[in-house]
Amino acid sequence: MLGIVAIFFQSEILYANEFDCRIEPNVVINVGSDVEGVLSQVLVEQGDFVQEGQMLAKFDTTLQELAVRIAQVRSENESVIRTNKTRVEFGERRFARTKELFENEISSLSELDEAETAKILADLALIEAREAKRLAELDLNRAWAELNLRTIQSPIKGVVIERFLSPGELVSRTPIVKLAQLDPLRVGVFVPAKMLGKVKVGMIAEIRPADPVGGRYSARVAVVDQVVDAASGTFGIRLSLPNPQYLLPAGLKCRIQFPLQ
């Protein structure tokens, strides 16, 4: 019997440090666009769960899609390069023949100079054609980038907590939707200055959400402020609370217990 009482008493000491806390989303993001345009689609509603990379909204992309097709045709065009390769080969053969004739005193120096100049110009034209193709490929990449900017994707896995715009509205550096990351959740608490140095990053604390949710959950200390607020004599602590099944909503009040003696 005494052993049972001792164990109970030790447990009470371990979890005597209890404070009010609040459960919040880990991240809240206003998702918008760097470009202006008219929305053609908004694919999510308030309350929808979204995956990272999921399409949220799309602009009217008629002009951008046309620009991509034009740039693609230009980037795939090999005719100028093939033409200049033929000219280079012809210039090399002509120069070789003219040089042989000049060495046999059949061709003049001016003819040799003309053949050599034509060969050099053909080489330069081939280099220019290859550079033009590389520029066309870069232009295609730019066209794709401009097209992709008009497709808005979710940067996180989370839930839509607000939708600001609808199809047909103009986007001008304004948010389209607001997202919240609910796994993990963030738990914030302020504790007395006397606990400074006792609470460490990585420590596990017990979280009890307020009714009607209730229950007991484990959260890991992620951030411990090193500056005490002089007015209140407290400092802040932030914890990470796993929520893979989204059983816990954000915005709840809670109680937290640290395992300190």
pLDDT digit string (tens) for 188-209? 999 999 888 889 999 999 999 9
Region 228-238: mean pLDDT is 93
What pLDDT, on a 0 to 100 scale, did the predictor assign at position 10?
A: 36
- Of 19, 7, 8, which is closest to residue 258 (Cα–Cα)? 19
First to last CA, the chain: 23
What pLDDT, on a 0 to 100 scale, did the predictor assign at position 238?
A: 96
152 CB-side CA count, 13 A: 30
- The residue extents of the domains of the chain are 15-60+158-258, 62-147
What pLDDT, on a 0 to 100 scale, did the predictor assign at position 14?
A: 40
Predicted confidence (pLDDT) per residue in 53-84, tens digit = 999 999 988 888 999 999 899 888 888 888 88
What residues have CB less than 8 Å from 149, skipping those under 6 apart?
33, 34, 35
Region 21-33: mean pLDDT is 94
Q: Which is more confident, 41 or 98?
A: 41
What pLDDT, on a 0 to 100 scale, did the predictor assign at position 186?
A: 96
Region 91-107: mean pLDDT is 81
Q: Is the pLDDT of residue 1 over 70?
A: no
Region 8-25: mean pLDDT is 66
Tokens of 158: 């989370």
Q: Is the pLDDT of residue 243 over 70?
A: yes
Identify the architecture of domain 15-60+158-258 in CATH: Beta Barrel (2.40)
- Residue 15: pLDDT band (50, 70, 90) is very low
Q: Where are the beta strands (DSSP E) in 73-156?
A: 151-153
Q: CA-based diameter of the chain, in Å?
A: 124
136 CB-side CA count, 13 A: 18
